[in-house]
Chain A
Amino acid sequence: MLDALKDIIRKSSIHVCLVNSGGCNGCDIEVVALLSPRYDLEQYGIYVHNNPREADVILVTGAVTEQWKENLRRIYTKAPEPKIVVALGNCPISGDVFNQEGGCVNAPVSDFIPVDAEVSGCPPRPSEILEAILAVAPGAIAAKGRQKE
């Protein structure tokens, strides 16, 4: 009974923390565009704030610069269980154009924290981001929550 209740609540209230680990910030503004009335992220029960301590979903953009190598792990541990990580854009997946000789990036993000889903694109369209979060978040959070207990 309690489990079922928790499942419902976890599915319908998803808090998102956006972490830019060194990208061009094109992906970040597409997340901001998601807040606009046209896409209206909040109708799906998703709330974007940048507070890792309350987050269920960590959206990582950017290609992990030197400064982020340790901080990324720290932010990940700050978020309460159950949590999932979605890598947004080509940067966290492969390093995009920055992953060449001379660049200071340490992509992919999955070397540092476990990644549950990836959305490719430079940047991905807002509707793709939304689709990815909705496809993976509610089920995964509920399932992870049950595992832990």
Chain B
Amino acid sequence: MILPIGPIHPALKEPLRLKLKTQGERVISAEIDYGYVHRGIERIMVGKTWQKSIYLAERVCGICSYIHTQTFAETFEKISDERAPLRAQYLRVLTNELDRIQSHLLANSTFFKAVEHETLFMYMLHLREPVMDAIELLTGNRVNMGWNVVGGVRMDVKDVHLQQIMTIMNKLEVEYQKYVEMYEQGPLMGLRSKKVGRMTKEEAIKARAVGPIGRASGLKHDLREDHHTYRDNLDFKVIWRKEGDTFARNMNRFDEIPQSISLIKQVIENLPEGDIRKKVEIGAGFGEWRNEAPRGEVTYMIETNGNLINNASIRTPSIMNIDACAKYMLKDVATVSDAIAAYASVDPCIACVERVVIVDEKGGEKQFQGIFDIK
């Protein structure tokens, strides 16, 4: 039997259609249909200046909106062969890590909602609010922050705000430990998540899984390791696990939070003095830049003539992760509710996965590889 779920369904936050092939309660395989929120952002960017496009980049995805602007700005900095001043780089790390904490907490709360554990769901959201406050203190906005510009960041921070953020982080660090234990040692949570929706390392490589989903399956890969600010100035280690099941994916996200807190503390303690923005003469040419978003690797490929954008292509992490979920995790799962839990643990973010599919009249569907395909 085929069980269709979505596009609007109590278990889903965002519109997408999940088709589960079932035999009794057992899920044999799954198929995922998307395309409900395709807005054509890459196409709108063409023929615009960066000042106009950076807002579009921010609205690719609301949950990880920050990293999109940073990657966009860094792509332009790469094309122009410049780097933001060190203070701006530090402030970017600070905002990025705050954004990662709130995103991971939200992702785990979604999982707890999917397995109907309301208590932990509420605790996660409760922990998340102070982090949102910290983001608001820093940037003036809760979700779409408008914090990056090419060549630096928009505003400087005040010492009082840094101290307040430090206090919030200290509090979070203490409080948060309790809930991780609740999840790690709770017997019922273990039953719902351990050995459910497993993906091995080989499968993860085949599906090109990225971010916490890949890392939970043993792929030791985090782009922050290669980023110049983290590599040269900060103490950072990749967190990864071997199990590859739903439990590991959630735990991996949980474990990354203390690390983000420690990065934030390092930044606040060592924040260098200096400018926060410098003037960049935008060069002409093609540039590509990758960054680690909360969900994995995000790539921007931009071609510019020095003023306007000729071509833009964005690759977001969720598309690989959702495909990995459909192909490898949702095969032979014991019950439909376990399948939904496994799906929620992938932390799918539909707003950023939307692609155009080109249908060749004779040959059937063809995967669209980005705007460069259109001739």
Q: Which A positions have Cβ atoms within 8 angstroms of B?
A: 17-30, 32-33, 35-38, 49-52, 62-63, 65-68, 71, 75, 96-98, 100-105, 122-123, 125
Contacts and interface: CB of A to CB of B under 8 A. Distances in A.
Nearest 8 pairs between A and B by C-beta? A26-B62, A36-B125, A102-B43, A24-B59, A22-B37, A25-B351, A25-B62, A104-B40
Contacts of B58: 24
Contacts of A51: 8-10
Contacts of A38: 126, 129
A101 B41 CA distance: 10
Contacts of A29: 62-63, 106, 143
B125 A25 contact: no
Given A25-B14, A29-B63, A98-B39, A19 B44 contact: no
B258 interface: no
Interface string B15-26: 100000000000
Nearest to B40: A104
A23 B351 contact: yes
B39 A63 contact: yes
Contact of B9 (A37, A50, A68): A50
Contacts of A97: 44, 55-56, 59
Interface in B107-161: 109, 122, 125-126, 128-129, 132, 142-144
A112 B114 CA distance: 31
Interface in B29-78: 35-41, 43-44, 46, 55-56, 58-63, 65
B85 interface: no
A37 B62 CA distance: 22
Contact of B125 (A35, A52, A103): A35
| Chain B interface size, under 10 / 10 to 19 / 20 to 34 / 35 or more | 35 or more
Given A25-B14, A29-B106, A37 B37 contact: no
B13 interface: yes
A20 B143 contact: no
Given A24-B61, A98-B59, 13 more contacts: A18-B13, A24-B62, A26-B65, A26-B144, A28-B62, A32-B109, A36-B126, A36-B129, A37-B122, A97-B56, A98-B56, A101-B44, A102-B46
Contacts of A71: 7
Interface of B: 7-15, 35-41, 43-44, 46, 55-56, 58-63, 65, 106, 109, 122, 125-126, 128-129, 132, 142-144, 349-351
B104 to A, nearest CB: 13
B144 A103 contact: no
B179 to A, nearest CB: 13
Given A29-B143, A98-B44, A22 B63 contact: no
A68 to B, nearest CB: 7
26 contacts: A19-B8, A22-B36, A22-B37, A23-B62, A23-B351, A24-B59, A24-B351, A25-B37, A25-B61, A25-B63, A25-B349, A29-B106, A29-B143, A30-B143, A32-B13, A32-B125, A33-B128, A36-B126, A50-B9, A51-B10, A52-B8, A62-B37, A63-B39, A71-B7, A102-B44, A105-B40
A24 B43 contact: no
Nearest to A36: B125
Contacts of B109: 32
Given A24-B65, A65-B39, A104-B39, A123 B10 contact: no
Most buried by A among B13, B58, B61, B349: B13
Nearest to B56: A97
Most buried by B among A27, A38, A102: A102
A24 B128 contact: no
Contact of A23 (B7, B37, B132): B37
A101 B126 CA distance: 41
B354 to A, nearest CB: 8
A36 B122 contact: yes
Contacts of B35: 67
